Structure 1
Amino acid sequence: MHHSRISAYIFDCQVDDLKDAAEFWSRALGRPVATFDQDGDGKYAELKTDADEPFLLLQRVDHEARIHLDIETDDLDAEVARLEAIGATRIAFVKRWWVMQAPSGHRFCVVRKQRAEFGPYVNEWP
C-alpha cells in the first residue's frame, strides 16, 4: 500500500529572472513571496502556502510557459506504475522525480514525499 497527493502547482516561466513573475503571481493570488530563490540557483521561487496546502512554485524553464502539477508519494515506483496502468507514460527521470504525460497530453511530475506529514488530503492505494 502506498500514498499520494497533489504536492505542488508549478508555474513554468520562460524568463531570465523569476522576480517579476513571482511578484505578479504573489499579487494575483494574494500570497506573499516566501523566497525569490529557493535553491540558490535562480531556478525556483516560492509563494507562501499553509502546511496542509500544495506548494506554489515558479520554475525558470526554456520551454513555453505553462502550469503543471507535482504528485508526491511515499513509494515513487508504485505510484509511477499505478499512473502508467491508467494511461500515463514516462517521459524522463530528472534528478529525483519522474516527468510523465497524461493521455490528455498534459505533463506532470511524480516526486518523493515533500513534507513530513501528508496531511488530511492523501489518497491510499493498494
Structure 2
Amino acid sequence: MHRSRAYAVIIDVPEEADAAATAFWSGVFGTPAVQSADEPQFKTLAKAIPDLHTALQTVADEGRYHIDIETDDVEAEVARLLALGATKVSQWLNCHVLRAPGGHLLCVIPVHSDQALFDAQARTWP
C-alpha cells in the first residue's frame, strides 16, 4: 500500500514572459512571488490556494498548468497512474512527468509537504 495527494498547482511560464507573468499571478492571488533559493526556476505564491503549494515555474516551452502529486512511494504511484491511462513523458531527478488522457501534464514526486498535512490528506491505495 502507498499514499498520495495533490501537492501543488504549478503555473508553467515561458522564459520570455517571466516578469509579466510573475507580476500578473502575484496580483491575481494577492501574494508576492518568492524566488526559491534551491530551485531558481520556481517562485512560490504563498497561500494562493489553501492546502496546495502554488508556484510559477519558468520553462523553455509553452505556458500551461500542471499538478504535482506527492507520494510516499513514487514507483507505486507512477504505476497506478499508468494503469489509469497516463503515459510517461520524462523523468528529472525524483520527478516523474506523465501525460494524462486529454494531454494534461502531471508530476509525481516524493512527499514535499509537512508530514502532518500529508498524513491528514493523503489517500491510501492498494
Q: Tell me which interval the TM-score lies in, with the shorter structure as reference length.
A: 0.7 to 0.9
Q: TM-score by structure 2 length?
A: 0.87
State the Cα deviation string for residues 87-107 of structure 1 (Å, max 9, x = none). 111111112110001121111
Local SS of the residue matching 1:105: coil
State the Cα deviation string for residues 37-85 of structure 1 (Å, max 9, x = none). 20356411111128x6111110000111011110000100000000111
State the Cα deviation string for residues 5-30 of structure 1 (Å, max 9, x = none). 11100000003474442221121123
Partner of 2:85: 87
| Residue identity matched to 1:57 | A
CA–CA distance in 2 between the matches of 1:61 and 1:86? 27
Tell me how large the CA RMSD over aligned residues is. Answer: 2.0
Partner of 1:106: 104
Partner of 1:33: 32
Q: TM-score by structure 1 length?
A: 0.87
Matched, 1:96 2:94: yes
Q: In structure 2, do the counterparts of structure 1 residues 21 and 40 end up closer, same or farther at CA, with 3 Å as the change threshold?
A: farther
Partner of 1:73: 71
Confirm or deny: 8 A CA contact 1:18 1:44 kept in the other structure: no
Q: Which of the pair is proportionally richer in helix?
A: 2
Q: In structure 2, do the counterparts of structure 1 residues 112 and 24 end up closer, same or farther at CA, with 3 Å as the change threshold?
A: same
* Ranges of 4+ aligned residues in structure 1 off by more than 4 Å: none
- Identity %, equivalent residues: 37
| Residue identity matched to 2:45 | L
Number of equivalent positions: 123
Partner of 1:122: 122
- Gap runs ≥5 in structure 1: none
Equivalence map 1:13-32=2 (5 Å)? 13-16=13-16, 18-30=18-30, 32=31
